[in-house]
Amino acid sequence: MSSEHARPQWAKADVSVDVRGECCPIPEMTASKKLKELAPAKVLEVITDHQASVDVTLPDLARELGYGFYSEKNGDLYRIFIAKP
């Protein structure tokens, strides 16, 4: 999912983690840990400045877990929302 479309209604963070300045594998490891702690039907927002995390590793994590996701870019900042079913 990309920022080319309007943000879906569900893409509102219940929990947010800021991993700006970190590169792989830290964003994925941090998101994975938070998703395990997250209650069902909640949304995790990951804030990062590492493009590969948003293009590859975090979407792959969401797909592997069967979770929905949406990402958007604002300048050099990326936000990815991962919905735990």
User: Which CATH architecture is the domain 15-83 placed in?
Assistant: 2-Layer Sandwich (3.30)
25-54: b or e for each residue (b if 16 or more CB lie within 10 Å)?
eebbebbbebbeebeeeebbbbebbbeebb
Could you give phi then psi for residue 41, rounded to 5 degrees? 70, 25
Please tell me the pTM assigned to this model: 0.91
Query: How does residue 6 score in pLDDT terms, banded at 50, 70 and 90?
Result: confident
- Tens digits of residue pLDDT in 36-72: 999 999 999 999 999 999 999 999 999 999 999 999 9
- By CB atoms closer than 10 A (0-12, 13-18, 19+), residue 74 is exposed
What pLDDT score was predicted for residue 79? 97
How far apart CA 37 and CA 49 sit, in angstroms, is 24
pLDDT, average across residues 20-43: 96
